[in-house]
């Protein structure tokens, strides 16, 4: 109860950051009360007993609004719990509210929310990153202990980097997507924000693992445990030379990472630069495939099946859909639906969609051969630190897309990836290091990340 009251207080003080679309203050107190009673009755502690948590507004919580920060779902109430929500509640966590985000998780700055941008707590004139900006700021400003986001192309790691906290995107299929509003289903993964490496992995232990409602989920943690127990210092680490030579990369970020590589080498790690042939194809492939999947996933919001139905005399069904969708979706979401519909259209399907699928296959094969020789890949998480709200990036979508260069790779090939807050820029803004391992090696990632925090 004390904890809940504390966090409600911090949330009130930080209202200006716009990190929450709704706070369940009374309800959280009721749950906290129940949990306190269990302790007094001498019942065993649950794994996340009393852990106060925020949910990105794309994760279903029974009886609560879930809007994907969109006008089209502003009135929508979930009738069931996402698997992650159910597991959190059963583990004794207290869900304290839903976090603001980019509409339908599309964006890198949280400026695409229908309910206003989120502000970075370090500097209120700057973005927190996106799309899970509200969840990141909630942890950054101490408004909850941990929070959940979703990561389709970096939406957990990039805001974690901009906010100076830990953000984990597990292996594709580590956590059930049942009850997660879909953006691009073959990329989407629920991710976790926390102040420490152990915090995020202890939440993963609770919410991860097989689920009858999502056949893409596999049992992962087991083999990770055996493979790497106790040997992080023997790990072979690679970094992409072209990633660090990229002209878009802030020089200070590059220098900090190069200096850290030196430090790791001195600490006994083996770290080698490698060439990654397909580096320039990563972002285009990501945007062709995710917009294609989004155009299909978002077709259900038409004012009949899902989404708000506007008052109109229109009797033609397609016109009726058109009115609801034109008014209900924001600019970025419409841009992506159009792009996705274009790359899937009969005349262009092979030139764009099929081609991008082929590149994705090549990327996966290439990644497998890297992991035959190396255990981990490290890189910057983002090429710059948090930029200003209203920056030119938002006027130029391609510029914004290119900033996803380091994060989308892990989603294209389904590997786990974490951003750890190791560095600070001369501007005073934080930034992180991204660490990736092969699929299912979350435990190795946890051990290595902790080691890195120690060495820093």
> For residues 50 and 414, which CB has a smaller minimum distance to ligand GLN in the complex?
414
Examine the residue annotation and report whether 56 is marked as an active-site residue of this protein. Answer: yes
CA atoms within 13 A on the CB side of 177: 21
Site for ligand GLN in 35-74 (CB under 6 A): none
Structure tokens of 251?
Answer: 């020089």
Strand order in 146-150's β-sheet? 20-23, 94-99, 52-56, 146-150, 190-194, 166-169, 417-424, 430-437, 376-380, 236-240, 270-274
Q: Is 154 in the site for ligand GLN (CB under 6 A)?
A: yes
Q: Is residue 388 classed exposed, middle or buried when 0-12, 13-18 and 19+ CB atoms within 10 A define those classes? A: middle
**Residue number, 202 or 290, with CB nearest to ligand GLN:** 290
- Part in contact with ligand GLN (CB under 6 A); list of ranges 32-40, 46-54, 100-108, 358-366: 100-108
**Which tokens go with 436?**
């990736």
**CA 76 → CA 14, 24, 303, distances in Å?**
26, 17, 11
Which residue number, 72 or 444, has a Cβ lying nearer to ligand GLN?
72
Q: What is the DSSP string of 89-103?
A: HHTT-EEEEEE--SG
At closest approach, how far in Å is the CB of 446 from ligand GLN? Answer: 22
CB of 124 to ligand GLN, least distance (A): 22
Q: Which is nearer to ligand GLN, 107 or 380 (CB)?
A: 107
Nearest distance from residue 339's CB to ligand GLN, in Å? 11
Per CB under 6 A, the segment of 135-143, 151-159, 239-247, 275-283 that binds ligand GLN is 151-159
Residue with Cβ nearer ligand GLN (270 or 341) = 341
Out of 134, 153, 164, 430, the residue judged to bind ligand GLN by CB under 6 A:
153
- Alpha-carbon dihedral of residues 157, 161, 52, 12, nearest 10 degrees? -130
Site for ligand GLN in 116-145 (CB under 6 A): 131
Spatial distance between the Cα atoms of 417 and 377, rounded to a whole number of angstroms:
9
| C-alpha–C-alpha distance, residues 4 and 240, integer Å | 44
| Total residues binding ligand GLN (CB under 6 A) | 14
In contact, 213 and 176? CB cutoff 8 Å: yes
To the query of whether residue 155 is one of the catalytic residues in this protein, the response is yes
Q: State the binding string over 404-423 for ligand GLN (x if CB under 6 A, else -).
A: x-------------------
Taking the least distance from each CB to ligand GLN, the nearer of 210 and 390 is 390
In 126-258, DSSP assigns E strands to 146-150, 166-169, 190-194, 236-240
Q: Residue 109's closest CA among 120, 122, 98?
A: 120
Instruction: Evaluate whether 189 touches 440 at the Cβ level (below 8 Å).
Output: no
Instruction: Give the active site residue among 70, 109, 131, 150.
Output: 131
Tell me which DSSP letter residue 155 carries: T
Contact between 176 and ligand GLN by CB under 6 A: the answer reads: no
What CA–CA distance (Å, rounded) separates 152 from 141?
24
What x/- string results for residues 378 through 407 when contact with ligand GLN is judged by CB under 6 A?
Answer: --------------------------x---
Smallest gap from Cβ 290 to ligand GLN, in A, equals 6
Which residues, 6 or more positions from 47, have their beta carbon under 8 angstroms from its beta carbon? 91, 92, 202, 205, 206
| Contact between 382 and 423 (Cβ < 8 Å) | no
Task: Print burial letters for 409-447: b (CB count within 10 Å at least 16), e (below 16).
Answer: bbbbbbbbbbbbbbbeeeeebbbbbbbbbbbbbbbbbbb
From candidates 183, 228, 321, 352, binder to ligand GLN by CB under 6 A:
183
Nearer to ligand GLN, 102 or 375 (CB): 102
Q: Does 105 bind ligand GLN (CB under 6 A)?
A: yes
Which residue among the candidates 70, 132, 135, 155 is catalytic per the annotation? 155
To ligand GLN, the closest distance from the beta carbon of 412 in angstroms equals 12
Query: Token pair 């902790």 is at which residue?
Result: 450
Site string for ligand GLN, 430-449 (x = CB under 6 A): --------------------
Q: Is 70 considered catalytic here?
A: no
Of 270 and 357, which CB lies nearer to ligand GLN in the complex structure? Answer: 357
Who's near 358: CB < 8 A, 6+ residues apart? none
Residues 273-302 interacting with ligand GLN (rule: CB under 6 A): 290
Pick the binder of ligand GLN from 147, 155, 221, 449 (CB under 6 A). 155
| Sole binder of ligand GLN in the list 54, 92, 107, 430 (CB under 6 A) | 107
> Which residue, judged by CB position, is nearest to ligand GLN in the bound state?
155
Token pair for residue 206? 């609770």
As measured in angstroms, the least distance from the Cβ of 32 to ligand GLN is 31
Q: Is 152 in the site for ligand GLN (CB under 6 A)?
A: yes
Phi, psi dihedrals of residue 398, rounded to the nearest 5°: -65, -40
Contacting residues toward ligand GLN, per CB under 6 A: 105-108, 131, 150-155, 183, 290, 404
Show which residues are catalytic: 56, 131, 155
């Amino acid at each position: 109860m004390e904890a809940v009251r504390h966090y409600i207080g911090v949330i009130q003080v930080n209202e200006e950051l716009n990190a929450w679309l709704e706070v369940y203050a009374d309800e959280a107190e009721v749950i906290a009360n129940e949990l306190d009673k269990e302790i007094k009755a001498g019942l065993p502690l649950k794994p996340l007993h009393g852990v106060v948590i925020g949910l990105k507004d794309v994760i279903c919580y029974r009886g609560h609004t879930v809007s994907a920060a969109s006008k089209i779902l502003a009135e929508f109430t979930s009738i069931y719990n996402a698997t992650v929500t159910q597991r959190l509640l059963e583990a004794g966590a207290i869900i304290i509210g839903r976090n603001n985000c980019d509409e339908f998780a599309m964006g890198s700055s949280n400026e695409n929310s229908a309910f206003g941008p989120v502000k970075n707590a370090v500097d209120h004139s700057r973005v927190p990153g996106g799309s899970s900006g509200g969840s990141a700021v909630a942890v950054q400003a101490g408004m909850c202990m941990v929070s959940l986001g979703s990561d389709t192309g970096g939406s957990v790691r990039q805001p974690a980097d901009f906010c100076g906290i830990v953000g984990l995107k597990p292996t594709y299929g580590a956590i059930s997507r049942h009850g997660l509003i879909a953006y691009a289903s073959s990329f989407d993964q629920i991710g976790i924000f926390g102040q420490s490496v152990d915090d995020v992995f202890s939440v993963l232990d609770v919410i991860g693992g097989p689920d009858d409602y999502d056949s893409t989920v596999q049992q992962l943690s087991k083999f990770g445990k055996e493979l790497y127990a106790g040997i992080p210092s023997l790990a072979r680490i690679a970094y992409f030379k072209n990633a660090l030579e990229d002209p878009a990369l802030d020089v200070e970020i590059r220098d900090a990472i190069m200096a850290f590589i030196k430090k790791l080498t001195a600490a006994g790690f083996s770290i080698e630069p490698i060439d990654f042939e397909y580096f320039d194809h990563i972002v285009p492939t990501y945007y062709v495939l995710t917009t294609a999947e989004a155009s299909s996933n978002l077709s259900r919001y038409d004012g009949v099946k899902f989404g708000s139905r506007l008052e109109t005399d229109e009797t033609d069904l397609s016109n009726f859909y058109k009115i609801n969708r034109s008014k209900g979706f924001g600019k970025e979401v419409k841009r992506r639906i159009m792009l996705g519909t274009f790359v899937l259209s009969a005349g262009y399907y092979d030139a764009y969609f099929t081609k991008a699928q082929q590149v994705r296959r090549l990327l996966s094969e290439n990644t497998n051969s890297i992991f035959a020789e190396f255990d981990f890949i490290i890189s910057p998480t983002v090429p710059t630190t948090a930029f200003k709200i209203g920056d030119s990036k938002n006027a130029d979508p391609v510029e914004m897309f290119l900033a996803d260069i380091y994060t989308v790779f892990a989603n294209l090939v389904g590997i786990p990836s974490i951003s750890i807050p190791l560095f600070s820029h001369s501007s005073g803004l934080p930034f992180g290091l991204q660490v990736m391992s092969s699929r299912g090696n979350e435990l190795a990632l946890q051990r290595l990340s902790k080691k890195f925090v120690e060495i820093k």
